[in-house]
A and B are shown apart, each in its own frame.
Chain A
């Protein structure tokens, strides 16, 4: 019985020289025989997490344990074996090899695992029959519908009967009839001891999940009165890559707005003084903070919720807010 456990997972990569952490301190425990849905908008780290689970991307820190094996501690050769024997992946847009027939696409992992040609053929035939494609075995992907291609991809993913199945946006590019076929198939995979992890932004498939993990959780957006925050020099107001629900307006003192660089350094973006505001984009668009804000001197700032800040802006609206228009004094 293989359980999945993720502990304090941090994934960081460089984007134009800046450090981005799409996954920052994720913890998760999933029992065998579960279907987990990773839900969130584009860019929230769903595919990144799947890549880590599949042993394709190495996280910056934290641990991924599946069936007692620490995936993050495996080296190149062990990772290839882990990917082949433990993980089955259903890729976004199917990613079947166009020059191979459906039958041959399913044979790829079997042959890679060292199975004989005859045994591979028998197994591929059995799998394609299971996904109702017995009459399409000799067809190339270009001759199959989206749903049929996705079923071939599922057959390929389960060819070696892996205990962990990862599916990336399995319902994208499919019409509703095809979605139904694929959903039934994916749900059936989670029966038994298998763990199935599905990344999607399609909330229609949530009812079939045993667990739903929202990778960009919506913060409580209830309006509340402005909060005044006093900070000493060097104290951090908020950190890059974290979520927050307050837009800050500087009352006194100065704040350094800095971006963390991929090499561990920092880049000073701006020094915010009295009357300046910051943190509005992340709050308004439900995105992580794109910079760290640290008090340069002893300083005071007032934190506004998005609604309170709009009210303070008045009738000029959000376009002027994004344009960093100067605020009228209170």
Chain B
């Protein structure tokens, strides 16, 4: 009776279109939220990758090389660099900073690294900073080479632009020399938060440990953990909303078609055929909504002031989830259809 189910969908096409658009919007929002949560990780990953190091050496017990670091004296760099297996080592430092522009201020994450060593990202314009009063900034700041940048009490000269370098929910990154960062954040004290290394250390001096790039990414993500959890909860709620929209459509359709089902049963149509028809309706609605959701997500994502990167696996999973949602949503309708007494067909108008 699949043809009857498809004809019924044509018959109720207005309601169907509304349900597909509604569910498609919900799917789109879910995709965008998934992309938003993933965007936090992507920007952190880009920042860490741009540093060009294999791993970070941090003080033992430190949670990470950036925000969870325990600053230590730069003098230990030589001991670490001499450890077997390390090809190159660079003193790195990180600190939260505030950029002022007139009366307004905005947050930035400041990284310090040697001008030509590991840890300094590639610039798309200009050059890497080589003096303590020079800085390379993220292109998202909208600044130009040669302009001054007021970071805290320090005035820095912009010498390079790093493309789309952000972390912590699109907070722009700025890159200084290690000395420049020490002046900005540590009052000129020769302190660093990690040592970026190339190579694989076989043994480190006591009191130090290695963390990989993934740990570095997680360190940058830690402040956003609550936000990611909240987004995940909202995404889950949206999946439930999708189930309810498709479910109510199928259930209403089943309620309105009780007489049809009774007639089908009375003329010998197996109940499983009726159920298959209803399930087909739910799956078709969910799949069309998923297709619409993908399109809408592309349109909605740029409207968000944060990085939205929908993972490919989310796109691949969406049709599968949509089918599951369709089947789950049709349960109430199916139960109603199964319970229909064929004697109802003998009723009058």
On A, residues with C-beta under 8 Å from B are: 47, 50-51, 54, 56-57, 80-85, 87-89, 91-93, 95, 97-100, 104, 107-109, 111-113, 156-157, 168-169, 172-173
Which residues of B sit under 8 angstroms from A98, Cβ to Cβ?
11, 260
**7 additional A-B residue pairs with CB within 8 Å, beyond A80-B268, A91-B346, A97-B260:** A80-B265, A83-B265, A92-B348, A93-B347, A95-B263, A156-B267, A169-B348
Which residues of B sit under 8 angstroms from A91, Cβ to Cβ?
263, 266, 345-346
**A248–B265 Cα gap in the complex (Å)?**
47
17 CB < 8 A contacts A-B: A50-B346, A56-B343, A56-B345, A83-B265, A83-B266, A84-B268, A87-B268, A89-B345, A92-B349, A93-B348, A93-B349, A97-B264, A99-B8, A99-B12, A109-B268, A111-B3, A112-B1
Smallest Cβ-Cβ distance to A157: which chain B residue: B267
A104 and B266 in contact, given A93-B348, A93-B349, A97-B260 (Cβ under 8 angstroms):
no
What's the least CB distance linking B312 to chain A, in Å? Answer: 39
Which residues of B sit under 8 angstroms from A100, Cβ to Cβ?
4, 7
For chain B, which range describes its interface: under 10, 10 to 19, 20 to 34, or 35 or more residues? Answer: 20 to 34
**A88–B263 Cα gap in the complex (Å)?**
11
Whether B348 and A56, one on each chain, are in contact in the complex, defined by CB atoms closer than 8 angstroms, is: no
What's the least CB distance linking A77 to chain B, in Å? Answer: 8
Smallest Cβ-Cβ distance to B347: which chain A residue: A92
Pick from A92, A99, A109: contact of B267, CB under 8 Å: A109
Whether A89 and B266, one on each chain, are in contact in the complex, defined by CB atoms closer than 8 angstroms, is: yes
Which residues of B sit under 8 angstroms from A82, Cβ to Cβ?
268
Whether A47 and B346, one on each chain, are in contact in the complex, defined by CB atoms closer than 8 angstroms, is: yes
What's the least CB distance linking B14 to chain A, in Å? Answer: 13
5 tightest Cβ-Cβ pairs between the two chains A and B? A84-B268, A99-B11, A93-B349, A83-B268, A112-B269
A108 and B343 in contact, given A80-B268, A89-B267, A91-B263 (Cβ under 8 angstroms):
no
Decide yes or no whether B319 CB sits under 8 A from chain A.
no
**A168–B11 Cα gap in the complex (Å)?**
27
A112 and B267 in contact, given A99-B4, A104-B3, A104-B7 (Cβ under 8 angstroms):
yes
Smallest Cβ-Cβ distance to B274: which chain A residue: A112
What's the least CB distance linking A102 to chain B, in Å? Answer: 13
**A88–B273 Cα gap in the complex (Å)?**
19
Which residues of B sit under 8 angstroms from A93, Cβ to Cβ?
347-349
Which B315-349 residues have a C-beta within 8 angstroms of A?
Answer: 341-343, 345-349
Smallest Cβ-Cβ distance to B268: which chain A residue: A84
What's the least CB distance linking A88 to chain B, in Å? Answer: 8
Whether B11 and A113, one on each chain, are in contact in the complex, defined by CB atoms closer than 8 angstroms, is: no
Which residues of A sit under 8 angstroms from B4, Cβ to Cβ?
97, 99-100, 104, 108
**A99–B341 Cα gap in the complex (Å)?**
21
What's the least CB distance linking B213 to chain A, in Å? Answer: 59
Pick from B3, B266, B349: contact of A54, CB under 8 Å: B266
Which residues of A sit under 8 angstroms from B268, Cβ to Cβ?
80-85, 87, 109, 112-113
Decide yes or no whether B259 CB sits under 8 A from chain A.
yes
What's the least CB distance linking B346 to chain A, in Å? Answer: 5
Smallest Cβ-Cβ distance to A52: which chain B residue: B343
**A47–B269 Cα gap in the complex (Å)?**
21
Whether A108 and B269, one on each chain, are in contact in the complex, defined by CB atoms closer than 8 angstroms, is: yes
Whether B7 and A109, one on each chain, are in contact in the complex, defined by CB atoms closer than 8 angstroms, is: no
Which residues of B sit under 8 angstroms from A51, Cβ to Cβ?
343, 346
A168 and B346 in contact, given A95-B259, A100-B7, A156-B267 (Cβ under 8 angstroms):
yes
What's the least CB distance linking A275 to chain B, in Å? Answer: 44
Smallest Cβ-Cβ distance to B267: which chain A residue: A109
Whether A84 and B11, one on each chain, are in contact in the complex, defined by CB atoms closer than 8 angstroms, is: no
**A57–B347 Cα gap in the complex (Å)?**
14
**A156–B266 Cα gap in the complex (Å)?**
12
Which residues of B sit under 8 angstroms from A83, Cβ to Cβ?
265-268, 342
**A83–B268 Cα gap in the complex (Å)?**
5
Which residues of A sit under 8 angstroms from B273, Cβ to Cβ?
112
**A84–B263 Cα gap in the complex (Å)?**
11
**A168–B347 Cα gap in the complex (Å)?**
9
A84 and B347 in contact, given A99-B8, A104-B3 (Cβ under 8 angstroms):
no
Q: Mark B1-30, 1 if CB is under 8 A from A, else 0.
A: 101100110111000000000000000000
Smallest Cβ-Cβ distance to A104: which chain B residue: B7
Which residues of A sit under 8 angstroms from B152, Cβ to Cβ?
none
Which residues of A sit under 8 angstroms from B347, Cβ to Cβ?
92-93
Whether A108 and B1, one on each chain, are in contact in the complex, defined by CB atoms closer than 8 angstroms, is: yes
Which residues of A sit under 8 angstroms from B270, Cβ to Cβ?
80, 112
**A80–B269 Cα gap in the complex (Å)?**
7
**A111–B264 Cα gap in the complex (Å)?**
11
Smallest Cβ-Cβ distance to A199: which chain B residue: B346
Smallest Cβ-Cβ distance to A54: which chain B residue: B266
**A84–B10 Cα gap in the complex (Å)?**
27
**A238–B197 Cα gap in the complex (Å)?**
105
Whether B269 and A109, one on each chain, are in contact in the complex, defined by CB atoms closer than 8 angstroms, is: yes
